[in-house]
């Protein structure tokens, strides 16, 4: 009874535009803007409702404690007296991007027949490097059933950014698949965030069959253009790989290896002549959810920015009209997340498992989303100025908002993790 569940990160009440992520062009461009945490979180709820309406299964991951006082204490600081850059790094709501929570290998792929999850260490960026402890606590709660194995992080300095640099292709969710780990070596002025040794380590931990596991280098050109994760330039699901022409360092070898491992693969490549790398990254065409609908139809869930970019929308319409492998395009509004460099795919972690094995507190339906939205409406700040993160009133409101939500969802054990 295996099914794919999308676990979306609920946008936290501390969502702000501090511009902490070099290489993430959208985030650095937004630096200093006033953010809207309430609107951002409600956009995420609307996206989850749209998934449910499509017949997809939906789960959640919860906002982290912000500011992260424990992390600051390890630095010998308290929030009120910390330097502004440390305040911003302790206040970040970046855990909302659940694609960076972990790498997931479903049971059909693993040596012991259990679903393995390795929490990402995110050591490359200071504001994300302290997420893994709380993420690990949530994963161990949500996936406590013996059907799962939840691993701690790969040790530093081998940067691991989770599912954003991992793809899986399979004839069906419950069939053995091909797992693809995409790593970086260099990226012009920007750091390559996925270390090859981290990818190898995760594959070994998960007990993957080497004959069905590929390791692929992301192109330096893509990283330098702002593709800080592979999922900004490529996404896969079922038998379909959807990628930009410049996504990979040696695409010809990768495509040949992929076809040898999975002859039925359908590679949908978007040429730079039709959609430039810059437009692909600005529109987040590939940071989309490529999903299989209940009737077996492949669909692509893209952000509004894809429709707003003429050549991107033109390509999508032509592909669907031409009877391409992707048969349907759905559009969602996640503009607040996009402003910080995270599209629809960033907001979700895909887990193929038996839904009955998941802690039900982490699964949602319309009624549960109604309850979450009510808390967000009542408790989330309407606006946050990234230049005023040290405001004690804001800190108090953010901490209260998260506490109220966790109490409402029955996950009080996570309040103090």
**Contacting residues for 212 by C-beta, under 8 A, at least 6 apart:** 109, 176, 177, 178, 179, 261
Range of the domain at 185: 3-414
pLDDT of the residue at 369: 98
pLDDT score for 22: 86
Options 319, 346, 353, 379, the catalytic residue: 346
85 Cβ partners below 8 Å, 6+ apart? none
205 closest CA partner among 150, 136, 139, 141 = 150
Q: Is 77 exposed, middle or buried (0-12, 13-18, 19+ CB in 10 A)?
A: middle
Count Cβ atoms below 10 Å from residue 48 Cβ, excluding itself: 28
Cα gap 402→405, rounded to integer Å: 5
pLDDT of the residue at 53: 98
Catalytic residue among 161, 179, 305, 330: 161
Catalytic site includes residue 115 = no
382 counts as catalytic: no
β-strand partners of 148: 115
Given this model, what pLDDT does residue 35 score?
97
Q: Rounded distance, CA 79 to CA 71, Å?
A: 10
- What pLDDT is attached to residue 253? 98
The count of residues in the chain is: 417
The closest alpha carbon to 5, from 316, 329, 348, 409, belongs to 348
Domains contained in the chain, number: 1
CB of 63 closer than 8 Å to CB of 11: yes
Return d(Cα 234, Cα 244) in angstroms, integer: 6
Catalytic residue among 229, 245, 305, 330: 229
Quick check: 114 and 131 in contact, CB under 8 A?
Answer: no
Active site residue 161: yes
153: DSSP letter: P
Please tell me the predicted confidence (pLDDT) of residue 25. Answer: 86
Torsion, Cα of 330, 164, 96, 148 (10° steps) = 100
Q: SS3 for 94? A: helix
Q: Give the model's pLDDT for residue 171.
A: 96
Rg of the chain (C-alpha set): 20
pLDDT of residue 417: 72
- Reading the chain (417 residues) residue by residue, the pLDDT tens digits are 899 999 999 999 999 999 999 888 888 988 999 999 999 999 999 999 999 999 999 999 999 999 999 999 999 999 999 999 999 999 999 999 999 999 999 999 999 999 999 999 999 999 999 999 999 999 999 999 999 999 999 999 999 999 999 999 999 999 999 999 999 998 888 988 999 999 999 999 999 999 999 999 999 999 999 999 999 999 999 999 999 999 999 999 999 999 999 999 999 999 999 999 999 999 999 999 999 999 999 999 999 999 999 999 999 999 999 999 999 999 999 999 999 999 999 999 999 999 999 999 999 999 999 999 999 999 999 999 999 999 999 999 999 999 999 999 999 999 887
CATH of the domain at 368: 3.75.10.20
Q: Which of 282, 284, 341, 345 is nearest to 22 (CA)?
A: 341
């Amino acid at each position: 009874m295996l099914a794919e569940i999308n676990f979306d990160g609920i946008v936290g009440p501390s969502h702000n535009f501090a511009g902490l992520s070099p290489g993430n062009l959208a985030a650095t461009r937004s630096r200093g803007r006033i953010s809207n945490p309430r609107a951002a979180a409600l956009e995420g709820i609307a996206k989850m409702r749209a998934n449910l309406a499509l017949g997809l299964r939906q789960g959640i991951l919860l906002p982290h404690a912000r500011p992260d006082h424990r992390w600051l204490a390890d630095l010998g600081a308290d929030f009120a007296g910390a330097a502004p850059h440390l305040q911003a790094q302790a206040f970040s709501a970046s855990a909302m991007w659940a694609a960076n929570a972990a790498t997931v290998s479903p049971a059909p792929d693993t040596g012991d027949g259990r679903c393995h999850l390795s929490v990402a260490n995110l050591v490359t960026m200071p504001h994300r490097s302290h997420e893994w402890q709380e993420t690990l606590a949530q994963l161990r709660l949500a996936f406590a059933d013996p059907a799962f194995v939840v691993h701690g992080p790969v040790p530093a300095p081998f940067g691991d950014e989770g599912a954003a640099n991992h793809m899986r292709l399979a004839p069906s969710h419950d069939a053995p698949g091909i797992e693809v780990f995409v790593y970086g070596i260099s990226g012009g002025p920007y750091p390559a965030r996925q270390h090859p040794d981290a990818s190898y380590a995760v594959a070994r931990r998960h007990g993957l069959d080497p004959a069905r596991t590929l390791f692929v280098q992301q192109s330096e050109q893509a990283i330098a253009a702002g593709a800080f994760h592979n999922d900004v330039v490529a996404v896969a699901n079922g038998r379909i790989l959807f990628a930009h022409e410049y996504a990979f360092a040696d695409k010809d070898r990768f495509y040949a290896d992929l076809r040898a491992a999975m002859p039925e693969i359908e590679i949908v490549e978007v040429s730079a002549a039709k959609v430039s790398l810059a437009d692909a990254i600005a529109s987040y065409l590939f940071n989309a959810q490529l999903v299989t609908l209940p009737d077996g139809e492949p669909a692509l869930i893209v952000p509004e920015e894809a429709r707003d970019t003429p050549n991107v929308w033109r390509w999508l319409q032509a592909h669907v009209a031409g009877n391409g492998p992707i048969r349907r395009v759905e559009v969602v509004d996640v503009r607040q997340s996009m402003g910080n460099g995270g599209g629809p795919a960033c907001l979700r972690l895909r887990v193929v498992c038996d839904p009955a094995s998941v802690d039900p507190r982490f699964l949602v339906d319309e009624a549960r989303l109604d309850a979450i939205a009510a808390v967000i409406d009542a408790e989330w700040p309407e606006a946050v100025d990234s230049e005023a993160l040290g405001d004690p009133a804001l800190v108090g409101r953010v901490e209260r908002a998260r506490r109220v939500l966790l109490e409402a969802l029955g996950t009080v054990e996570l309040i103090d993790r």
